[in-house]
Amino acid sequence: MKHHLIIVACLLVALASCAQSKEATSTDAAGTKAPASAIVENRQANGDVYYARRATLFDLLPVGESDIIMLGNSLTDGAEWNELLDNPNVKNRGIVGDIVQGLYERMKPILVGQPAKVFIMSGVNDVSHGVTADSIARATEKLIVLIKAYSPRTKIYLQSMLPFNNQVREWKLLVGREQVVVDANRLLEQVARRQEVTWINLYPLFADEQGRLRAEYTNDGLHLLGPAYLVWRDAIKPYVK
Q: Quick one: three-class SS letters along 213-235?
A: ECHHHCCCCCCCCHHHHHHHHHH
Q: Is position 204 an interface residue for its own copies (rule: CB under 8 A)?
A: no
Q: Is position 57 an interface residue for its own copies (rule: CB under 8 A)?
A: yes
Q: Which of 39, 59, 107, 187 binds its own copies (CB under 8 A)?
A: 59
Specify the residue, 50 or 239, whose C-beta has the smaller distance to its own copies. 50
Q: Reduced to 3 states, what is the DSSP secondary structure of residue 212?
A: coil
Nearest to 158 by CA among 170, 168, 145, 169: 145
Q: Is position 9 an interface residue for its own copies (rule: CB under 8 A)?
A: no
Residues 120-159 that bind its own copies (CB under 8 A): none
Q: Is position 78 an interface residue for its own copies (rule: CB under 8 A)?
A: yes
Cβ at position 60, least distance to its own copies in Å: 4
Q: Is position 171 an interface residue for its own copies (rule: CB under 8 A)?
A: no
Amino acid at position 199, single letter: W
Q: Is position 85 an interface residue for its own copies (rule: CB under 8 A)?
A: no
Dihedral angle computed from the Cα positions of residues 219, 164, 128 and 107, in that order, rounded to the nearest 10 degrees: 90
Dihedral angle computed from the Cα positions of residues 147, 135, 133 and 142, in that order, rounded to the nearest 10 degrees: -10
Specify the residue, 36 or 197, whose C-beta has the smaller distance to its own copies. 36
Specify the residue, 179 or 219, whose C-beta has the smaller distance to its own copies. 219
Q: Which of 21, 25, 37, 44 binds its own copies (CB under 8 A)?
A: 44
Question: Both ends of the chain: CA-CA distance in Å?
Answer: 36
d(CA 112, CA 118): 13
Q: Which of 88, 129, 193, 204 binds its own copies (CB under 8 A)?
A: 88
Q: Is position 234 an interface residue for its own copies (rule: CB under 8 A)?
A: no
d(CA 163, CA 178): 7
Report the 10 Å Cβ neighbour count for 211: 15
Query: By the criterion CB under 8 A, which residues form the site for its own copies?
Result: 27-28, 30-33, 44, 49-50, 52-54, 56-61, 78-80, 82-84, 88, 91-92, 169, 216-217, 219-220, 223-231
